[in-house]
Amino acid sequence: MNGKAIFLDRDGVLFDNSDQYYIWKQEQIRFVDGVFDNLKCLLLNGYQLFIVSNQGGISKGLYPKDDILNLHAGLIQTFRNNQIEITEIVFCPHHPEIEKCICRKPDSILIEKLLAKHKLSKEESYLIGDSESDMEAAEKAGIQKIKINSNQDMYPFISFLIR
């Protein structure tokens, strides 16, 4: 294992979701302050970037899976336009009120699959999230965790990763 990685929660970490819980359309996206600069710094320090997100609104019938796939395709392009490469985005479409699964955070299967697929070092990988379920998923996957304040610049929490 030789790659180091940052696994990012989406809503509250990358997207400001202070006035809307579910985000599934491009026009709903408001980036948290500092996201582009912070992600560029992480890339320059050798981290691969991944997004791992719970999208239970799919299971609840609030929006179709295709809307999330389209939003994520647009997100990847927006980041590329800003010289930021997201290696992969994965999400759990389930909601515990509707069905049981093993992919929804706080479970760690999505992270574990990415670690194996991309031959990443657990010791040099971090999950950055804003919830206890994010922190629990990191623990279960055996990677380090960084809990940040929702909808706020992550720099104060990740500055030690950036040289």
- Percent of the chain as helix, strand, coil, to the nearest 5: 35, 25, 40
Token reading at 130: 């804003």
Q: Map tokens 């990740």 to a residue.
A: 158
Q: How far is CA 145 from the centre of its chain?
A: 12
Distance, in Å, from the CA atom of 46 to the CA atom of 27, rounded to the nearest integer, reads 31
- Sequence-distant (6+) residues with CB within 8 A of 94 are 56, 58, 59, 100, 101, 103, 104
Position 95, amino acid? H
Please count the residues of the chain: 163
Taking a C-beta distance cutoff of 8 angstroms, is the pair 125, 144 a contact? yes
Catalytic residues: 9, 11
